[in-house]
Structure 1
Amino acid sequence: MRIGFIGLGIMGQPMAKNLLRAGYTLTVATRTPGKAEKFASDNSALGSIRAVSTPADVAAASDIIVTIVTDSPDVVDVARGESGIFTAAKPGTIIIDMSTISPQVTSELAAEAASKGIFWLDGPVSGGEKGAIEGTLTIMVGGDSDALEGARPVLSAMGKRITHFGPAGKGQAAKLCNQIMVSVNMLAVCEALTFGAKEGLDLNTLHQALTGGAANSWALDVLGKKIIDRDFKPAFMIRLMQKDLRLVMDSAYGSHTPIPSTALAHQLFSVVEAEGRGDDGTQSLARVFESMAGIKEV
């Protein structure tokens, strides 16, 4: 089975490496000139891999194509562009878009793919860079169930929990539910640690206690410790979280769903962005709470 891979960022690179380790032949491309060539050269010892120039070149050489890029317009360009996948993909090709994008855009692309005899699966992921490296991502899938079964071995090389939510777009909707919980949880962690600091508690001791009880979460366990250690390097950048939250806000507006907690998280993250820290990890939100509480930056 020939696999194409488009998008070699923080998540895409380890995911592609896991496909090589699983024995798949890869054809890769990126929108950044030279990046695919360097990746192919650096990872040739892992398996059969070659770099090409365009999504169309990837499509011409692949049975299954994985895409993981930044936003809806990027996916549209990869699929529909002048040298996009749709110009060269053969009927029966399975496209797995693992980006986090608009459910509505996903449904439109899936319908266009179907008109060409191509299967479109949306398979956004959760688990961060660590999950991508370890091949333990949670994958939320929308699209044709038979196509999913055909693609399952490929997905299993990158993730451990693969859940089918229904037709195209439903995987994206599930991922947005994930982002609602992640963002609001991050807000709560920042608020609790700021309160603890103002109360004079040792934050390492507090972290140890809270991670042993009902308050524990990935955000507290991993990102809470980073806040305490003043480590704001990104596992997931604030600007990307904001992109996802804008998708949530747009979808919620369309379905008349109130999301007050998410709206607050979105506004507070925007403060960090306004300070020029959009490339920080989401844990940098703690600085906003500390500033409001009169805690000076260490």
Structure 2
Amino acid sequence: MFLPENTVIGFIGIGVMGKSMAGHLLNKGYPLIVYSRTKEKAEELIADGAEWTNSPKEVAQKANVIITIVGYPQDVEEVYLGENGIITNGKEDTYIIDMTTSTPTLAVKIYTEAKKKGMHALDAPVSGGDIGAKEAKLSIMVGGDQQVFDEMKEIFNHLGTNIVYQGQAGSGQHTKMCNQIAIASNMIGVCEAVIYAEKAGLNPETVLQSISSGAAGSWSLSNLAPRMINGDFAPGFYIKHFIKDINIALEEAEAMGMETPGLSLAKKLYAQLAEAGEEQSGTQALYKYWDR
């Protein structure tokens, strides 16, 4: 296990969530090496003391704990296994933690390739969106070796409050699919409830006061329904990324011979929104499906 003074953290992916997550680690005093495809997104971190690099390869050469949270599985594969990738160019005993929502199959592949290089890999996708990232209250679901999880627990504690070891490599990603499946159908219900309240002539904000703490309560109802009501569709989590997650979950469920009618409906509705130009909006923009 690393002593804190020997830990240099690399962080790849300075997006809606990654910027806040990297900031928490920097504020805790860890030396921080950063890379993102768009350098401008990292300017605030650089100003606060983070060191910029020009590629995942450079991050791999300078850091001994590397965290990634990028867009799509193909991005994850390139960042880890490409010519300039972390595993391709990494050092023995480096700890690599992918916090992207990606495929369980790719998580296992990364784990296996990391083992060959003497590196330690965890798949650790998160839930909680921009709010959870800003407040360091993310739910983190982790797959990989128990010992490696234990060694990285201190770092996870700086990013989240609900940190659970789920099992072998790929288990974190499978757990995130469970999370996304639950959210997908729930978001449909949240939107329908808000629209129904408005059409019935009710004040949707007072409706939320009654239903958000009862049996209908959920994170989406408490955090995203108020955004819908206020016309705030800025992304805490992009529709385009949620569609990616839904597709992964549908493929995994199909491989297991499982029907997912709620998830299939959510894909249909979100796909229509994306086609209408809403793919860069937050998932709460599903409200617009009924408000068109």
State whether structure 2 residue 143 is matched by structure 1 residue 138.
no
Matched residue of 1:201: which SS?
Answer: coil
Once the two structures are superposed, residues 115-157 of structure 1 have per-residue CA deviations (whole angstroms, 9 ceiling, x without a partner) of 1111110000011111111111111000011111111111111
Aligned to 1:188: 189
Between the aligned partners of 2:111 and 2:254, the Cα distance in structure 1 is: 23
Between the aligned partners of 1:116 and 1:154, the Cα distance in structure 2 is: 23
Once the two structures are superposed, residues 63-85 of structure 1 have per-residue CA deviations (whole angstroms, 9 ceiling, x without a partner) of 11101101111011001111111
Between the aligned partners of 2:269 and 2:88, the Cα distance in structure 1 is: 42
Aligned to 2:176: 175
How far has the Cα of 1:290 moved from its partner? 3.2
State whether structure 2 residue 30 is matched by structure 1 residue 24.
yes
Aligned counterparts, 1:145-156, within 5 A: 145-156=146-157
Matched residue of 1:142: which SS?
Answer: strand
Aligned counterparts, 1:197-216, within 5 A: 197-216=198-217
The aligned amino acid for 1:50 is E
Aligned counterparts, 1:5-24, within 5 A: 5-24=11-30
State whether structure 2 residue 12 is matched by structure 1 residue 2.
no
Structure 1 regions of 5+ residues with no counterpart? 292-298
Once the two structures are superposed, residues 152-196 of structure 1 have per-residue CA deviations (whole angstroms, 9 ceiling, x without a partner) of 111111111111111111000101111111121110011122222
The aligned amino acid for 1:5 is F
State whether structure 2 residue 47 is matched by structure 1 residue 42.
yes
TM-score normalised by L of structure 1: 0.92
State whether structure 2 residue 236 is matched by structure 1 residue 238.
no
How far has the Cα of 1:33 moved from its partner? 4.6
Aligned counterparts, 1:67-82, within 5 A: 67-82=68-83
Once the two structures are superposed, residues 229-262 of structure 1 have per-residue CA deviations (whole angstroms, 9 ceiling, x without a partner) of 2221221111111111011111111111111101
Structure 2 regions of 5+ residues with no counterpart? 1-6
State whether structure 2 residue 103 is matched by structure 1 residue 102.
yes
Cα-Cα RMSD? 1.4
How far has the Cα of 1:105 moved from its partner? 1.1
The aligned amino acid for 2:251 is D
Matched residue of 1:275: which SS?
Answer: helix
Aligned to 2:248: 247
Query: Sequence identity of aligned pairs in percent?
Result: 39
The aligned amino acid for 2:169 is A
Say if 2:72 and 2:102, in contact at 8 Å, map to a contact too. Answer: yes
How far has the Cα of 1:24 moved from its partner? 0.7
TM-score normalised by L of structure 2: 0.94
Q: Report the more deviating stretch, 146-155 or 189-198.
A: 189-198
Between the aligned partners of 1:128 and 1:170, the Cα distance in structure 2 is: 20
